[in-house]
Structure formats: C-alpha cells, structure tokens
Amino acid sequence: MSINDTSATVPAAALRRELLRLARVEEDRAAVEAAKVPYWASCPPTIQARRTAAAILRADADTYLTA
C-alpha cells in the first residue's frame, strides 16, 4: 500500500461514517413521525420519503466500503 492509498482511505471512511449517521437520523425521524400516526390512518408521504432517503444514504455509504 502506498502513502496515497492511506491518505485516500481516511477521508473515505469518514465520509462513509457521516453518510451512515445521516441515514440513522432520517430513520429516527421517520420512526418518531410514524409513532404519531394512528394505526388506522394512512402513512404520510414524508415518512416514506425519509425512509427512502435513509436507504439512498446507506447505498451511497456502501460505495465507500472498497475505498
């Protein structure tokens, strides 16, 4: 491994951690919002949007696994 490989790995790992943190935030916000919705009511689109955003953030984070 060259010194350039190491210098590229550290920022990639930090970026991956931040993407995963943001995904957790979106999932948590979706859960809080969903808890306020009665079981007979339809799910607001914002909940699905947050869950989708979290999935996209996790997928983006996974691209840094090989970095």
pLDDT digits (tens, 9 = 90+) for 9-66: 789 999 999 999 999 999 999 999 999 999 999 999 999 999 999 999 999 999 998 6
The reply to whether 41 falls in a domain is: yes
Tally of domains in the chain: 1
The reply to whether 67 falls in a domain is: no
Range of the domain at 8: 3-62
pLDDT confidence bin for 8, thresholds 50/70/90: low
The reply to whether 38 falls in a domain is: yes
The reply to whether 28 falls in a domain is: yes
pTM, two decimal places: 0.81
CB of 34 within 8 A of CB of 46? Answer: no
CB of 19 within 8 A of CB of 61? Answer: yes
The reply to whether 40 falls in a domain is: yes
